[in-house]
Amino acid sequence: MSRFVDRVVIHVSGGNGGNGCASVHREKFKPLGGPDGGNGGNGGNVVLVVDSNVHTLLDFHFRPHAVATHGKQGQGANRDGATGQDLELMVPEGTVVMDADGEIIIDLVGHGTRFVAAQGGRGGLGNAALASKARRAPGFALLGEPGDTRDLVLELRSMADAGLVGFPSAGKSSLIAVLSAAKPKIADYPFTTLVPNLGVITAGETVFTMADVPGLIPGASQGKGLGLDFLRHIERCSVLVHVIDCATEEPGRDPLSDIDALEEELARYTPALGGTLADRPRIVVLNKIDVPEARELAELIRPDIEERGLPVFEVSTATREGLRELTFALAKVVADDRANRPIVEATRAVLRPVAVDDAGFTIEEDRSTEGAFTVRGERPERWVRQTNFDNAEAIGYLADRLARLGVEEALAKAGARPGCPVTIGNMTFDWEPSTPAGIAMTMFSRGSDPRLEQDDRVGAAERKRARRARRGLDTADGE
């Protein structure tokens, strides 16, 4: 027997990016071949894809961990590493993706809808891509970034037009069985239905779906019984059908009190997808009128229910009495809801340009250590992750990038002093400024640099005077 699972927790990880390659071209009679290290390949993504042929989250219950393929390392001769393949996970339509805190990230509706659950890491650049006029032959390459790792909660909310609401053993499963080709389990004890059952119903030219969900009892909106497991499956329904058992012999119950109890639980429940259940159309079905006492009770209370403005249908799933009228009434409500539903526009791409004064990073004081600072920003943290700290040249390249971004100048303005601990990402190091922005010195006019005055190299004018002096001395000796 197949198992129905409508809520799972999955652990997804994107593939790691491949490392870049540090290589020098070697060929006979070409001693200065130059760098030829290739770039690492990007890691694969973990993607959730809506598949209309999938109806449960059972696969994720047994295999909750998903890891995409890693990117390959770059090689010499300018050969880039292979890109990791995306891992596509098929989910049923109506799956809601939430983070570990319960916040909804996306509602997956529509066959083929895709959502990147975990982004793969970028591949590192090889030394061929890092070569420049100032650095002709880099002796290092960038490391690949690790892929994103996330814990996600997947909840399935059934995609049904009509939802059957009622107490246990009210006849909901029998009703959907005779109206559609669904084959739910039917028995004479409460909570026979433990999982939602979907059926497709045709009424004239209208085709709609109906959901038979576990029975509702008082306190369901607070999680009693199968409460929340039941209620989330009717959030998308266009019409709610109250199935009332007119033949029940349970003491203290009657059709009007059952309707009041059902309405109270629906009013207390707040759908996670927005809106309320109070504004959904209602239809009351007085079931089991094939029993003489039930028929008399239905005829007695029908005027009271109609006074509340609720359409009432007396049916019997055993004799199929009243089912045709009920089917066409449901089809009309569903058709009207579809006609009045706003047209869903295609998602537009939103471009948000970076603000002029956005430096791309922030400087914060680290209160855990005196005189320490923390640099936060996407680019500085990414650069640190891609740096091989066992290579001095790679560290110098990182320092140049941070200086060009303005990190050193910002640290100096924040009060940082040489030697103070600075944390970027998961790396903490002692800050040693490499530009005038990090030390106390007076800047001169454009084209001048006081550091050049410390140069001991002999200038051209001095060499010219020395050459003339030697010539004069040589002439005097010749005479």
Residues making up the binding site for Mg(2+) = 173, 193
Binding site as annotated, residues for GTP? 166-173, 191-195, 212-215, 287-290, 316-318
Contact between 111 and 101 under an 8 Å Cβ cutoff? The reply is no
Rounded Cα gap, residues 372 and 191, in angstroms: 61
Left (φ > 0), alpha (ψ -120 to 50) or beta: where does 236 sit?
alpha
Binding site as annotated, residues? 166-173, 191-195, 212-215, 287-290, 316-318
Task: Please give the backbone phi and psi of residue 181, each rounded to the nearest 5 degrees, phi first.
Answer: -95, 10
The CB-side HSE value for 269 (13 A sphere, CA atoms) comes to 29
> Closest by alpha carbon to 385, among 144, 147, 149?
144
